[in-house]
Structure 1
């Protein structure tokens, strides 16, 4: 087994930012483990698709087990899987609450705990959490309590883990995007969403991917919450 080439795990990898990350890591000659509930097999032998619900610990265990079995190492984990439900606070249902916490928090916890264990063994690794700028800077007219509750928690966890593992070779960072032009947003909403950003446009998938690639190569950066939000955070 060739264990010299780097290996990245990407959750939520079937479309949008996740699919962009799979391509970007392959362009850098990483081998990739791609997970989502609807992920399809890749023709590329250096991309291993593992379908399944990342909220299920057994799925996280399979991802890490297959990564080690096929590729022998884990260098990077990008916790990209997530959900955003925009409703007034009093309109959220118990199902909304449970589903958001399961995907945004459980989906982070299980895979990160297991991947970190392997990274510590090899003495190096990098974890990137995709959060949201709304966790730090709420916007009038954009109800976002469940996103702030969960993704704000990931921002805090990012800093905590960064310090806990700083001396063991594992870096932990987050990217906090504004509104990104993904299949999640229908074209008729784009003009209104663009207006939320001081730069006057929505973010592109490539904006987030490039931020993650920067963090991947920035060996002296850990515990950082990198806002990729078209000036939203500065505007506050």
Structure 2
């Protein structure tokens, strides 16, 4: 690993009770990188993602973000989560708040912005994700794709240094997936540092600087997408990609 790495994950292991779900997982990212975690269901991808912002607690190993020790007992988890935005599989929006209300809540409550400042920031981020015409719509009035874009705007409104995406399209109807991926493409173009869990292989291939293939909680193989997709070194990687391709 280089001293310049923005995110360094080193030998991270995690147990739930007696079950070890991560085994010595290591990878690193530079600022502006897009790293995509792929693998079968139950391979530890989402758990690894959650360890980065301590929604799950790694029991062994090291995670360093921008020089700070994420796992140190002295680390303020609330401060960490202000710097690390996360978009979940579920939309997790407040049903009683409009789109702009959902997005403005964090900047106002957590960052201390005035109501007007928070609304202005929320409006900017909703326009960024293509929802400038839905500011006052409530979640029940929005499609799944629109709700997921509100969730993305909500994370972006905190001005994070790293964005985590945990299978953001898995709960969407197929025709709505494209609008969410388009927003993510735009974030990549804007230079956002992103760690993404996804089953959308064409998206992963298009945007990733590095692909990390996990199976049974272990890193089987990692590398640039052209190498992993065209000439994987491990037979397990080849089998997984063949199976994914046969279902597309």
TM above 0.5: no
TM-score by length of 1: 0.32
Larger radius of gyration: 2
Structure with higher strand content:
2
TM-score by length of 2: 0.31
Structure with higher helix content:
1
Q: Relative contact order (C-alpha < 8 Å, sep 6+): which is higher?
A: 2
